[in-house]
Amino acid sequence: MEVHVGPAVVATHLDDEVLISERDATITAEARLGYFIADTRLVSGYHLEIGRHAPLLLNSSQIQAPSARYEFTNEHFVDDRGLEVPEHTLHLRLDRVLGRGVHEDYELTNYCGEPVELVMAVSIHSDFADIFDVKDLRLQRRGTVRSTWDPDGLVLTNQFQHEGFRRGLRVEARRASGEVTYANGALLFPLDLEPGASWSCCLLWRPVLEGDEPLPTIGECHQLLGAAAGGARDDFAAASVATSDPATTATIHQAIDDLAQLRLRARIRPGFLDLDGDEGDAARYSIPAAGVPWFVTLFGRDALTVALQALPITGELARGTLRALAALQATGWDDDRDMQPGKIEHEIRRGELAALHLVPHTPYYGSHDATPLFVLTAAASWRWSADREELDRLRPHVEAALDWVDEQGDEDGDGIQEYRTRSQRGYFNQAWKDAHDAILHADGSLPELPIATCELQGLVVAAKRAWAGTLEQAYEDDAGAERLRREASRLAELIEERFFWEAEGTYYLGLDGRKRPIETVSSNPGQLLYYRAIEEGRAALVAKRLFADDLWSGWGIRTLSADHPSFNPFSYQLGSVWPHDCVLIADGLRRYGFDEESHRIARAMLEAAAALANRTLPELFAGLQRDEASFPVQYLGANVPQAWASGAIVHLLDVFLGFEPNAAAGTLRLRASLPDWLDRIELSGLRLGESPLGLSVTRSPSGSHVLEVEGGEGLEVTLL
């Protein structure tokens, strides 16, 4: 069976543009639909009529990520001459393609056998609502909207202004076969079609983000829908993957396609991130948008996680993400934005609310884990690339991040990482589980701030150890490396002393503001395995606890125990299943030698993807118990595609093959463990430093593995 996740809509996206409509192309403001760019909804209403009647939808579908096609016919009606037009005798095709605007191609054909006279009407409305208001259905008009029609240029212009914030939309009629007028809020196309005749027209929606000039479009009208994709998969510098299992191969290919299509092309220079134009002297890089439709922007935590997930197949996302976040790294203090020197941004927005400082996302710095993740990602990128010039550029930013970790990250100086919002508009929780109610005591009450979640400690342990290795190898700074390892070891000791929960055989979710244990069973301790931050013996206890019935749903590991009084399988982070969380845990299980348990999670993720439309994992799904007839049940409002959910599938390659890169030394070691249902993985187009190579790992019936290498001259590639 194939399950569709999300409402019955057609969604397309490209860079920071998103267009979501009903299946029949209709857009209504109240359904959170529309055309969005730069965190603003430029089209909030769209309605189509043929002869005063809505056309009858036959089929519609996304064709590629930025394109969709809608096929219509007609119900019975009387035309403008008073003659009857039988049902199903007209055919209307509408193609939509994104590319710094929306290209709409209309083609109407008369199969009636008689001449038909009618008016086709296209209504397009703009509310210019901010993305936050749309998501929360908090629709209110703060500024003014003005519409004008240019009968000579055939251009409808909708303009919005609120104080200094301006947005606009120009709808241009092009290549119209006949007259075009505007009345009652609609573009009108009077048509007189002979039998077998066709009428065509292009409407071009052109965003105006600053000033009065619309963005330059990528191209003119597209008769071939795939053209707007621009070969997104082809220009994504990623390795090619094949496996012995066709379903697994298809799922991995889809995940790579999703990551390719989620890229934002950004121009970066210190303190500056531009997602709009192509002008300027700043270099242009790819960074992952966090997810469609609500998170089409740079999120520090998400982008860094995706960069780590994708490193074995591409360094493109790591380079862009590290550059972008370094450019936006805080250099001063601003409590309203939870900003301190050295901290890495959490989220940046460019809509009305951000422009007028009605939200703190300019950018907002309210995440604790983004800063040590930056350090960890920089070190991991070095291991794959050995790009000394890039490392030298990042080093001062890494050192500033580590200073933040030691100072503001540990505000009371006890060696434990804790977070606290200083902003009245900030996020209460600032680890990866950042919903307001995500971190709870055993009785369901909110802990007092500051909160120290267990996985934050493990992340800092891993980040310091990783950067210590980089200091040794790249800079021969043995003293600095030893200091970092000593600090990491001390924090690892504190994890065992303060966080281990002997009664449950796992680790506390965290410590509250009075350093009391948060006695809640959750998935968080599983990430301690990924960071290799806990003792071997206790890792076995954690592994066992993760697969107890209250956490293991059959589709993955729940974020919260089903025995907790606040458990809700349909909640955001109180019992749902998050693919990226599960695969991080699967990787951690491999690192401690629990291969069978790791494979169990991997298979659940792949089976979940196989049951979903397009094999695309959503951001999260419900934590319901799996049975013989079940399928992954959607979380309403999940982003699909979502970067670190798609990245989780790519991350499985590392789970199976266990990459240990050292590009500076010219070595790549693999600790492979293929499950009994996957006999072979082949990769071509890998890059270790400047050297391209291909490799394949095959599992024999006895369970041993065989490595074959192609290319990679000068490299030592071994199977451990």
The backbone torsions φ and ψ at residue 645, rounded to the nearest 5 degrees and listed phi first, read: -75, -45
DSSP 554-613: SSSBBSB-TTSTT--TTSSSSS-B-HHHHHHHHHHHHHTT-HHHHHHHHHHHHHHHHHBG
The backbone torsions φ and ψ at residue 632, rounded to the nearest 5 degrees and listed phi first, read: -65, 125
Asked whether 265 and 284 are in contact (CB, 8 A), the reply is yes
DSSP 531-569: TT-S-HHHHHHHHHHHTSTTTB-SSSBBSB-TTSTT--T
Q: 3-state DSSP call for residue 157? A: strand
pLDDT at 230: 47
Residue 290's CB is within 10 A of a number of other CB atoms, namely 25
Q: What is the mean pLDDT of residues 552-580?
A: 98
CA 554 – CA 568 distance, rounded (Å): 16
Who contacts 686 (Cβ-Cβ below 8 Å, separation ≥6)?
Answer: 239, 312, 313, 692, 693, 694, 695
Beta strands in 259-405 (DSSP E): 263-269, 272-274, 283-288
* pLDDT, tens only, 630-681: 899 989 889 999 999 999 999 999 999 999 999 999 999 999 999 999 999 9
* pLDDT, tens only, 393-419: 999 999 999 999 999 999 999 999 999
Question: What's the mean per-residue pLDDT of the chain?
Answer: 93
Who contacts 580 (Cβ-Cβ below 8 Å, separation ≥6)?
Answer: 305, 309, 644, 645, 647, 648, 651
What would the two tokens of residue 297 be? 């922007």
CA 321 – CA 307 distance, rounded (Å): 7
Who contacts 44 (Cβ-Cβ below 8 Å, separation ≥6)?
Answer: 27, 28, 29, 33, 34, 125, 126, 127, 128, 129
Torsion of Cα atoms, 609 then 613 then 616 then 617, to 10°: -60
pLDDT at 229: 46
Domain residue spans of the chain: 9-229
Does 36 have pLDDT greater than 60? yes
What would the two tokens of residue 185 be? 């809020």
CA 657 – CA 187 distance, rounded (Å): 57
Q: What is the mean pLDDT of residues 46-71?
A: 94
Instruction: Report helix, strand and coil shares of the chain as percent, to nearest 5.
Output: 30, 30, 40
pLDDT at 556: 98
Q: What is the mean pLDDT of residues 349-371?
A: 95
Confidence bin at 432 (pLDDT 50/70/90) = very high
Who contacts 146 (Cβ-Cβ below 8 Å, separation ≥6)?
Answer: 158, 159
In words, the CATH class of domain 9-229 is mainly beta
As beta bridge partners, residue 69 has 61, 95
Q: CA of 147: how far to CAs of 161, 209, 365, in Å? A: 12, 16, 38
* pLDDT, tens only, 473-492: 999 999 999 999 999 999 99
Nearest one of 462, 524, 529, 469 to 491, comparing CA atoms: 462
Which tops the pLDDT comparison, 276 or 338? 338
Give me the sign of the Cα torsion angle 126, 132, 137, 141. Answer: negative
Q: 3-state DSSP call for residue 385? A: helix
CA 108 – CA 487 distance, rounded (Å): 70
CA 561 – CA 559 distance, rounded (Å): 7
Does 221 have pLDDT greater than 60? no
Does 227 have pLDDT greater than 70? no
What would the two tokens of residue 228 be? 């707007």
* pLDDT, tens only, 298-350: 999 999 999 999 999 999 999 999 999 999 999 999 999 999 999 999 999 99
Nearest one of 369, 367, 510 to 426, comparing CA atoms: 367
CA 10 – CA 348 distance, rounded (Å): 26
What would the two tokens of residue 691 be? 């050297």
What would the two tokens of residue 28 be? 């209504």
Size of the chain, expressed as the number of residues it contains: 720
- Residue 144: exposure state from Cβ atoms within 10 A (0-12, 13-18, ≥19): exposed
Residue 676's CB is within 10 A of a number of other CB atoms, namely 10
Nearest one of 26, 33, 4, 31 to 70, comparing CA atoms: 26
pLDDT at 271: 55
What would the two tokens of residue 663 be? 């590009």
Does 5 have pLDDT greater than 90? no
Lowest mean pLDDT among 235-239, 431-435, 637-641: 235-239
Which tops the pLDDT comparison, 370 or 138? 370
Who contacts 708 (Cβ-Cβ below 8 Å, separation ≥6)?
Answer: 695, 696, 697, 698
CA 254 – CA 184 distance, rounded (Å): 44
CA 335 – CA 513 distance, rounded (Å): 19
DSSP 693-710: EEEEEEE-TTS-EEEEEE
Per the rule left: phi > 0, alpha: psi between -120 and 50, beta: everything else, 29 is: alpha
